[in-house]
Structure 1
Amino acid sequence: MAKKILIIDDDPEILSYMEDLLKEEGYRTFTAKDGVEGISMAQMHNPDLITLDMDMPGRGGTMFYVKLRQEPSLADIPVIVISGVGPRPPAISKSVPVVSKPVESVKVLRLIKEMLGESVTE
């Protein structure tokens, strides 16, 4: 069964790009435009991994991450921050990788595969 990835970003172009990129690799994708919708989608779909933008209206990336880690059924889902924002917010664990925008597809796909325990081909 295909791994499920939740993409959270307020930029429709990034959502579309990431969705196309991940579907091409055989992943099932779900999207959310902010942290509130992201929590709802995470609860509904229990993804294997989440990509998270930091700077969004409403509940941004930091608040989403804190809420995610407080929910026992969601707390262990791996997260990759994909953001154009500056340094890592203190609330985001140092074990969470941060990828800067614009997204380098090869780099982000390698990171996703590593975090999901899949083999990485060169």
Structure 2
Amino acid sequence: MAKKILIVDDDPEILDYLSELFQDSGYKTVTAINGVEGLEKVRAEQPDLITLDMDMPEKGGTNFYAGLRKDQANRDIPVIVVSGVGPRPPVLTKDVPTISKPIDNAKLMQLVSDMIP
């Protein structure tokens, strides 16, 4: 069964781009346009991994991540930050990898395969 990746980003072009990239590599994808929708999708879809933009309207990446880690059932889902935002927010632990935009496909896909073999 294909592993499922939740992509949380407010940019429709990034959602499409990452969905296609992951699907071409055999992953199933689910998308959310902000942190509020992202947390709903986590509960409904039970993804194996999450890619997370930090700068979004409504509930941004920092609040999404904090909410995810408070949720006992889903707190251990691995997260990769894919964002153009500057310094690492303090809420993100050092074990959360960060990919800057523009996206390095090879680096991102290596992280994904390392985190959900």
For the aligned pair, the TM-score class normalised by the smaller chain equals: over 0.9
Give runs of aligned pairs for residues 22-101 of structure 1, distance below 5 A.
Answer: 22-101=22-101
Give identity over the alignment, percent.
56
Hey, what's the Cα distance between the residues in 2 that align with 1:114 and 1:89? Answer: 23
Q: Over aligned residues, Cα RMSD in angstroms?
A: 0.4
Hey, what's the Cα distance between the residues in 2 that align with 1:97 and 1:35? Answer: 18
| SS at 1:114 equivalent | helix
TM-score (norm 2): 0.99
Q: 1:110: which partner in 2?
A: 110
* Deviant stretches of 4+, over 3 Å: none
Hey, what's the Cα distance between the residues in 2 that align with 1:102 and 1:11? Answer: 13
Matched letter for residue 8 of structure 1: V
Aligned-pair CA distance for 1:49: 0.2
Which runs of 5 or more structure 1 residues have no equivalent in the other structure? none
Q: 2:9: which partner in 1?
A: 9
Deviations 1:53-107 (A, max 9, x none): 0000000000000000000111000000000000100011111000000011111
| SS at 1:74 equivalent | coil
TM-score (norm 1): 0.95
Deviations 1:32-65 (A, max 9, x none): 0000000000000110000000000000000000
Which runs of 5 or more structure 2 residues have no equivalent in the other structure? none
